Chain A
Amino acid sequence: MGSTMSSEQAGNKTINFMGAYLPATVLSVVLLIASITALTVNGLKFGLDFTGGAQVEVSFSQPADIPEIRKILNDEGLVNPVAVLFGSDSEVLIRSQGAMSDGGETSLARRLAGVSANAALVSVDRAPRDRGNYAQSLTFSGVSAADINDSVLPAKYFGSIEVSSAGSNVVALTENSLDTAYTDELLDVLAAKTGTDVELRRSEFVGPQIGAELRDEGGLGMLLALAVVMMYVAVRFQFKFSVGAVLALVHDVIIVLGFFALFQIDFDLTVLAAVLAVIGYSLNDTIVVFDRVRENFPRMRKSSPVEVINTSLTQSLERTLITSLTTLLVLMMLFIFGGELISGFALALIVGIVVGTYSSIYVSCNTLMWLRIVKEDLMPPVKEGSEIDEMP
């Protein structure tokens, strides 16, 4: 078994990783403090999936003038509207924290003002069940049934309408809901005011309760992942190792989240998926290093724990760097070519993998040192190590 002896010989060129543990600890602490500060001060900029609200992606036939579009949106009565370029200079993502119908109500109110001074929209309801041909029922006050005509509810947006009096109010049944009608209207407004053609590429509406639920489930999922991983490592390795692994993961997750908070990049469902994938990836890295540590402890009987860890890190360095490199290569391609919808996902993984590679060396192994790992800790797994040896 020449190779067994050679592991120690290879130790000749061992890099003294742990020698730099102090600066590394300082770096980690600084990064963590910066991340936590960014998370508390800026907070995560949650995407539509988590906040709820409405967004439309529109494509203009010419490069879009964002300040102009923002000015138009401010007059439209949407709740905190945001317009940003999305992928190219002619694609714009418009987001509102409320529903599209908020804008619809404002524009309706504007048209009502033209009818009479005290005309008002009282309520917006679903059309009654026996009037299945209509989507929405709008109740107006201060108007007569004859006032509610095509100039108030244009057929272009609302489809066919049916108006009737109900006591002092007027009820109008509309074929298209206020949301749909307003989305169409907004496109027309944008086209008219910017003088370009506008095409709807996608529209999304997420109810507020869905957003809150997804946020809870996401957080829960992350905690669950950490807990299960901790258990797995504790069983397969040893408790001190599981503390090291989990601390490294928490470190990575906080820094990735901090990065997203600092640069105010949209945090949506796909980014959450990426953060969970970072947990998987970083863990992968840590496990590979730990595996070496576990293997080397019984072999390097005369060496100190620091030497064992340094040797293990040196041995797995090639693999760590190359795997990180290949993974980073594909993620870069995904970031560059994958389009705007997936760029947040790619970015989270890129940051996560860089941090994860670092943390598998410094955070997880630092923790082992800090917990004063000794070879007695690995007594039960020794049996497993020899099992491997027995394999031809």
Chain B
Amino acid sequence: MPAFVVSQGPVSDDRMLNRYPLWKYLLIIAVAILGFVYAVPNLYPPDDAVQISGSSSGMTVDEKVLKKVEQALDNAGISYFSAEQDGSSAKLRFNDGEAQLHGKSVIAETLGSDYVVALNQAPTTPDWLVSMGGAPMKLGLDLRGGVHFLLEVDTDSAIKKRQETSADEMKDKLRDARIRYSSVEVESTTIIAEFRETELRDAALRELRGEYPQMLFNTDLPNDTADVAFHAVLSDAAVREIEQYALGQNLTTLRKRVNELGVSEPIVQSQGRNRIIVQLPGVQDTAEAKRVIGKTANLEFRLEAAPDALAAAKERFDYQGRLAWLERKVILTGDHVANATTSLDPDTNTPQVNITLDSLGGTKMNHATRSNIGRRMAVLFIEYKTRMNTEIDAQGEQIEVPEQYTENKVISLATIQGALGVQFRITGLNAPGEASELALMLRSGALAAPMYFVEERTIGPSLGAENIQLGVKSVQWGMGLVLLFMIIYYRLFGVFANIALAVNVLVLVAVMSLLGATLTLPGIAGIVLTVGMAVDANVLIFARIREELKAGASPHTAISAGYDRAFTTILDANLTTLIVAVILYAIGTGPVKGFAVTLSIGILTSMFTAIMGTRALVNLVYGRRKNLKKLWI
């Protein structure tokens, strides 16, 4: 048994067993200090603040705007204790929630609809902490109050629409190639084309295959039709692309809408293939939020009014600073726009925008343009917006009343060069930026795949505050009892374990703050559970030490053996728990993810504090004692 020989050696001078090199102490102290520094921001309660930002990216919020706001607040007799601006946004901090609410309506009234004025919880983290990257943990909706929506994008309808457009194009192509077909139809998401003879079908396939690389053509069909047919479905890659496009388009639209609501720290993100999560902290009016995020922009294609048109038949708009008179009659709306992309005009090498319409849109466009070649056609971009107006109600109190209005903008005015169809382009654009901006607006005005609300949760602010309170209380009690128990049961070693446990919670909070993780109620439960389980490693070690002592080992040997023997057990036990936590994170949504995150971080930090941390303390206290007879365990 060579193992016996090897481990026998150090026993002769077993005092050396429990020494830590200086760097280990320094490392532990450094971790504890870092943990403290990055956990501290959570102790500063946030201020009730109002944030001002421009309603479009070009707007600046400068000293002048701030002066105006401060003037208005002073006039209204609302006290605030700080006002700052950084050119693009400004923040005013108030003494209490009431002043904040009052202040917000005064500011909104003063600045009008050009600015977004939002209630905000401004962190009060001291500058020196901020400069080191310190920030408090974000609170989840269940702790803060607010609304949560899950929207589902109906990607099937987007796919069906694409197939219908393709089917119409195929008909055109077959007609042009003089290949006679009996019918070309779309059933769910499959294009079904029927022919009289096999030769015709094969000719059609030869014609179409190259044109539609993203389509899978299938001729091996069950013989239930009298005619010869082929089926065409989109390849998985193409379906994915359409889904991503529909999702992306809806995400963009939603972000714009949500910004309009003036919520601080909103979350708009995709979940899975076709869902979008929207979380609006602090918002209580679900109806308003739903209405605003449900809105989409629209487009109208209209002809420029002839100079002799009647006043009743034309409407005035601005286009790039000049006057533009458009006909009231709408050729078609954004509902018929399938896509808009940018490319370079091969003739002039200037940027252009390619527009694809659906078949009905193509027909309408063709009818309207073929007799109007040489005239100009405008694209009108229409946005439905909401602004809050302050009114005095019957009781003489100020109330905020939402007002809906539309904003119209001519985004393109171009001369019709020929009869337009399903596909046409807008050329003569000056810069690539202009082209991509135009394409973006066309896309956001085009009909996106429809979205449905599949989940909706509102948490009142009182419930959120109560949840924090309950969570904190259970952490305090739980931790208190565990600390007490450990001291009673393991005496001095219990104190070591308790110090490690406290550092563990500190480091856990610090890591969560640094990662920007969101704290939820189940997350707090995760912290509580971590407190209970983190002592496990210490219990394993201490039980081992006791066992070794009982078996007659010297205190130094017992300590060393206790730590070494327990290590593999701790590693195995924690690794398996970590595996489960990772699975939980992968399958969980929302609050459950929060639990998985705290649990995983807690397992990792507890490995460090419970093993290295307590060992350092043990070594510090007992390591240099020569004639150690008894351990206080």
Name A's B-contacting residues (CB within 8 A). 1-7, 9-10, 57, 126, 129-130, 132-135, 159, 175-177, 179-180, 199-207, 209-210, 214, 217-218, 220-221, 224-225, 228-229, 232-233, 236, 269-270, 272-273, 276-277, 279-281, 283-284, 287-288, 291-292, 295, 315-316, 318-319, 322-323, 325-331, 333-334, 336-339, 341-342, 345-346, 349, 384, 386, 388-392
Q: Which residue of B is nearest A273, CB measured?
A: B592
Known: A329-B532, A337-B473, A388-B564. A273 touches B553 (CB 8 A): no
Which of B115-123, B202-210, B357-365, B535-543 is found at the contact surface with chain A? B535-543
Which of B62-70, B165-173, B290-298 is found at the contact surface with chain A? B290-298
User: For residue B471, which residues in chain A have a CB less than 8 angstroms away from its CB?
Assistant: 338-339, 342
A334 & B17 in contact (Cβ 8 Å cutoff): no
B460-503 interface (Cβ within 8 A of A): 460, 462-463, 466-467, 470-471, 473-474, 477-479, 481-482, 485-486, 489
Known: A6-B548, A207-B454, A232-B579. A339 touches B470 (CB 8 A): yes
Subset of 27 A-B contacts with CB under 8 Å = A6-B550, A10-B547, A57-B463, A177-B287, A214-B589, A221-B588, A229-B580, A270-B522, A273-B592, A277-B595, A280-B599, A291-B568, A291-B569, A291-B573, A316-B543, A319-B539, A326-B539, A327-B532, A330-B479, A330-B528, A334-B474, A334-B525, A389-B6, A391-B7, A391-B564, A392-B9, A392-B560
B286 & A210 in contact (Cβ 8 Å cutoff): no
Contact partner of A276 (CB less than 8 A), chosen from B553, B574, B580, is B580
Per-residue A-contact encoding for B588-605, CB less than 8 Å = 1, 0 else: 111110011001000000
B632 smallest CB distance to A (angstroms): 17
User: For residue B564, which residues in chain A have a CB less than 8 angstroms away from its CB?
Assistant: 388, 391-392
A221 & B586 in contact (Cβ 8 Å cutoff): yes
User: For residue B296, which residues in chain A have a CB less than 8 angstroms away from its CB?
Assistant: 129, 132
**Is residue B551 contacting chain A, with contact meaning CB distance below 8 A?**
yes
B587 & A221 in contact (Cβ 8 Å cutoff): yes
A204 & B458 in contact (Cβ 8 Å cutoff): yes
Interface of A is mostly: helix
Per-residue A-contact encoding for B539-561, CB less than 8 Å = 1, 0 else: 11001001110111100011011
User: For residue B6, which residues in chain A have a CB less than 8 angstroms away from its CB?
Assistant: 389-390, 392
A386 & B3 in contact (Cβ 8 Å cutoff): yes
A335 to B482, CA, bound (A): 15
Contact partner of A330 (CB less than 8 A), chosen from B456, B481, B560, B574, is B481
A207 & B583 in contact (Cβ 8 Å cutoff): no
Per-residue A-contact encoding for B283-311, CB less than 8 Å = 1, 0 else: 00011001100111010000000000000
Contact partner of B453 (CB less than 8 A), chosen from A205, A336, A337, A349, is A205
B450 smallest CB distance to A (angstroms): 8
Q: Which residue of B is nearest A319, CB measured?
A: B543
Known: A202-B460, A270-B591, A270-B595. A180 touches B287 (CB 8 A): yes
User: For residue A232, which residues in chain B have a CB less than 8 angstroms away from its CB?
Assistant: 575-576, 579
B477 & A205 in contact (Cβ 8 Å cutoff): no
A214 to B566, CA, bound (A): 39
B290 & A180 in contact (Cβ 8 Å cutoff): yes
A296 smallest CB distance to B (angstroms): 12
Known: A276-B580, A326-B485, A341-B142; 19 extra A-B contacts, CB below 8 A, are A1-B8, A5-B551, A126-B294, A129-B298, A129-B447, A130-B298, A199-B460, A201-B459, A233-B576, A273-B584, A273-B592, A273-B595, A323-B533, A329-B478, A333-B528, A336-B474, A341-B521, A390-B3, A391-B7
User: For residue A200, which residues in chain B have a CB less than 8 angstroms away from its CB?
Assistant: 458, 460
Interface of B is mostly: helix
**Is residue B436 contacting chain A, with contact meaning CB distance below 8 A?**
no
Per-residue A-contact encoding for B349-393, CB less than 8 Å = 1, 0 else: 000000000000000000000000000000000101000000000
**Is residue B175 contacting chain A, with contact meaning CB distance below 8 A?**
no
User: For residue B269, which residues in chain A have a CB less than 8 angstroms away from its CB?
Assistant: none
B609 smallest CB distance to A (angstroms): 15
| Residue of B558, B560, B568, B574 most packed against chain A (CB within 10 A) | B568
